[in-house]
Amino acid sequence: MTGYLSLENGTVFKGELGHGSKGPVEGEIVFFTGMTGYQEVLTDPSYKDQIVVFTYPLIGQYGVNECDGESAIPQVKGVIMLHCPDDYSHYQATSSLKDYLHNWDIPYMTGVDTRQVVKTIRDLGSQNACIGHSPLMPSTRKRKGQIAQVASSELTYYGTGSVHVALLDFGVKKSIISSLVKMDCSVTLIPYDRINLLHTLKADALVISNGPGDPKEMAALMPQLKEHILKLPTLGICLGHQLIALALGGDTRKLLFGHRGANHPVIDHGTGRVYLTSQNHNYVVEDESLVETHLKPRFFNVNDGSVEGLQHETKPILSVQFHPEARPGPEDASYIFEEFYQSIKQSGREKIYA
């Protein structure tokens, strides 16, 4: 069945609409450059309400399994691929990608000139798009409120480690929780809108999670967030990184088309080394806005020079724009969790001898 991908700027692409795909659906169109990891992408809450274009020409060859989801359900609005095979091969796979998308009523298109779609996004920026049986122009409205749709609504507990980490949930990925639990941490997951619970949890440290949308939508939380960031060893990941900057007086801006993929080079001026990282974000911290914040840029994107992470001058506060849990992607940056863990231990020793 012929399908149409219509962009906000009026460009229309034709392809094959997946069997049973309903429509029309609208979402912000973005692209992902990784060769693998499509299941993690589809279930990452940071992709809420987005139409994802996969640049690698063959998607779905190893099927979908019960292990690799970053949340319980797919979060995307739609999927665009050049080719998605009916057959798949992997010992853990339980279904094809096509069946998975069909079962969750996620429309998808194949046979689309994905190279030209990506070129259009790179030239004109991320924008709204529509998938349907006919060319239908999407609205130009900005989407809001995705965090409330993907964040948890109640306290949840993980692990039994000796270090108690409070994880403020704005749409956290499962693999972030797993990475903390593996490091001898017990984790209390706190809904973002119940941040006041931090006063009674007696946590040793704070992690601020990833999540979808514009970080400035959380402006009302900044005073409370600042209070806790300055009291506890803190790690911010992706959206959490942006929120730390905003809470301490910095600013953010939207990129033209964002960073999404598993091969983004980042230089760490703390070690002098370059690491390949997994990324998924539309917004970045403005370097010039950090002058009065006591936050210093430590990580930079090698490709465009944008800020990829911050470190406080005197307090154990660290933030990274990329994903150290590396799901999907390379594990180069996993040392960030160990560095955070050691900062918690050091902070505890300082309290004992104070």
Domain boundaries in the chain? Answer: 2-132, 146-353
User: What does the pLDDT read at residue 329?
Assistant: 86
Task: Give the confidence band of 140 by pLDDT, cuts at 50, 70, 90.
Answer: confident
23-to-4, 26, 58, 76, 128 alpha-carbon distances in Å? 10, 9, 24, 14, 15
Active site residue 185: no
Query: Is the confidence at residue 352, as pLDDT, over 50?
Result: no
Residues contacting residue 111 through CB under 8 Å, at least 6 positions apart: 15, 16, 82, 83
Which listed residue (238, 264, 308, 312) is catalytic? 238
Residue 354 has pLDDT above 80, yes or no: no
50/30 Cα distance (integer angstroms): 7
How many Cβ atoms sit within 10 Å of the Cβ of residue 200? 7
Give domain 2-132's CATH number out of 3.10.20.30, 3.50.30.20, 3.40.190.90, 3.30.43.10: 3.50.30.20
151 with 211: CB under 8 angstroms? yes
Annotated active-site residue 323? The verdict is yes
Asked if residue 315 has pLDDT above 70, the reply is yes
Residue 147 has phi, psi (to 5 degrees) of -60, -45
Query: Where residue 208 falls among pLDDT bands split at 50, 70, 90?
Result: very high
- Return the exposure string of 149-160: e unless at least 16 CB atoms fall within 10 Å of the residue's CB, then b: ebbbeeeeebbe
DSSP lists the bridge partners of residue 79 as 52, 108
The predicted pLDDT at position 231 comes to 96
Q: What is the pLDDT of residue 349?
A: 58
pTM: 0.95
Residues present in the chain in total: 354
Share of the chain above pLDDT 90, in %: 92
Residue 238 annotated among the catalytic residues of the structure: yes
CATH class of 146-353: alpha beta
List the catalytic residue out of 8, 28, 40, 325.
325
